[in-house]
Structure 1
Amino acid sequence: MAGQPAALLGLEKTSLRQQAVAALRVAITSGELAPSSPLVETELSEKLQISRGTLREAMRQLQQEGLITAGARGRLYVRHLDYKEIRDIFAVRAALEALAVRELAGLPDRTTVIAELRAALEVMDTAVLEARIEADLNFHRTMCALTGNDTLVHSWISLEGSIRMSIMFAGLDRAVGNMDVGRHSAIVDAIETGDADEAARAIQTHMDWAASNLVA
């Protein structure tokens, strides 16, 4: 369908609600649906070629994820992040990832962990623009996943939509500045030496710098 936004094209008939969730999530976090824009059920259900009931279920899930917010009379809008919310997101990220690196630094054998993290860094180092952002998110997601702590991973993933929105808030050029391989390497180096305190400090330093860069 010519002229339609890519993320909002018609869906297959299997798992329509989850497909709608995924399509809307991409549209929101990419900026295709701009912050503060109203979500009109008739328009979205037509674009996605789903019923309004299925659309409402999808939007309820995205509201729980913090990507959609309710305004006057219950009307739904794309969430707009302010400076405080961005700093709050990065503060929670720092706490979660500090826990992750402490657990990884405490492993008796860190060989596989370090190999996977350095491989993720290599991808980040060679990627550009949008691909670099995806590589950065993959590094942090992988770091949490390697702990084997499912609750930690679930908590981090629940923030991912908000993390992407904070990147969109600042714009691509400034956001890419957060993907500095040197600061990420310092985190991996500390894990490799088994210094949990230094690894946690490296995470905190990185998150403080990243949040400040996005709201500067």
Structure 2
Amino acid sequence: MSVDGTSLLRLEKTSLREQALTALRRAITTGQLTPGTHLVETDLSEALQISRGTLREAMRQLQQEGLISAGARGRLSVRHLDAKEIRDIFEVRAALESVAARTLASRPDRTEAVAALRHAVEEMDRWAASNLEDRIEADLRFHRTMCHLSGNETLLHSWSSLEGSIRMSIMFAGVDRALKNMDARRHLAIVEAIEAGDGDTAAATVREHMAGAASVLIGA
């Protein structure tokens, strides 16, 4: 069987782009690259040891995810959120995730979904003493799992398109406030509401969760 050499090169390039994407996303969401930081192509390509073309591909993806934004003359920088944007993000999250919670609570066969969500909460608890990055991932995994279990692909796609903005919002007010929102017990209340089978209560619990999280971040 013959092998197309150009396909191998394309795979290698894609791999480098994905590695660069992961490294930059981590640097932004953990605060290593702070909001407003101007992203200089020459510096970043040298630091990551990749071509400027590959770097541009990764940065385009980050721009689509809402982690970086273009300013004057197209200069890219780490996105800076204000309090209104935080509220907007959490209002949309509340709308999406309350639908997921209501859907799950309304199912007569919700036992497996509840077990999966309890496991996600246990994982949050397990990573509670770990580094910030692991805790962020555990937190997001819980919410992503709830959306996925709803079986609503449009809902999951909408939530996923917000993930970059969600990551930025987590670090809006610094580590201390971010960690308050990652408390496993806050998330367990959502699971228990779903398990009880009351869709209205489950949806309300999610909305309360999101409103509280937004208030913690903006200091309201």
Amino acid corresponding to residue 24 of structure 1 in structure 2: L
* RMSD of Structure 2 on Structure 1 (CA): 1.7
Match of 1:172 in 2: 175
Residues 30, 187 of structure 1: CA spacing in aligned structure 2 closer, same or farther, 3 A cutoff? same
The aligned runs of 1:12-161 (5 Å cut-off) are: 15-126=15-126, 127-128=128-129, 130=132, 131-161=134-164
How big is each residue's C-alpha offset from its partner over 1:19-69, in whole Å with a ceiling of 9 and x where there is no partner?
A: 222221111111111110111111111111221112112111111111111
- Say how many residue pairs are matched: 205
Counterpart-to-counterpart distance in 2, 1:185 and 1:115: 11
Question: Does structure 1 conserve the Cα–Cα contact (< 8 Å) formed by 2:13 and 2:54?
Answer: no
Counterpart-to-counterpart distance in 1, 2:179 and 2:32: 19
Q: Once structures 1 and 2 are overlaid, which stretch shifts more, 81-90 or 47-56?
A: 47-56
Match of 1:206 in 2: 209
TM-score by length of 1: 0.88
Amino acid corresponding to residue 159 of structure 1 in structure 2: L
Question: Does structure 2 conserve the Cα–Cα contact (< 8 Å) formed by 1:105 and 1:193?
Answer: yes
Q: Once structures 1 and 2 are overlaid, which stretch shifts more, 185-194 or 92-101?
A: 185-194
Percent identity of equivalent pairs: 71
Question: Does structure 1 conserve the Cα–Cα contact (< 8 Å) formed by 2:90 and 2:210?
Answer: yes
Question: Does structure 2 conserve the Cα–Cα contact (< 8 Å) formed by 1:183 and 1:202?
Answer: no
How big is each residue's C-alpha offset from its partner over 1:96-123, in whole Å with a ceiling of 9 and x where there is no partner?
A: 1011111111222011011111122222
Counterpart-to-counterpart distance in 1, 2:165 and 2:65: 8
Amino acid corresponding to residue 98 of structure 2 in structure 1: A
How big is each residue's C-alpha offset from its partner over 1:172-214, in whole Å with a ceiling of 9 and x where there is no partner?
A: 2211111233332221122112211110100000100100000
What 5-or-longer segments of structure 1 have no aligned partner?
1-11
**Equivalent residue for 2:198, pick from 183, 195, 202:** 195
Amino acid corresponding to residue 78 of structure 1 in structure 2: V
TM-score by length of 2: 0.86
Bigger relative contact order, structure 1 or 2 (CA pairs below 8 A, ≥6 apart): 2
**Equivalent residue for 1:181, pick from 180, 184, 190:** 184
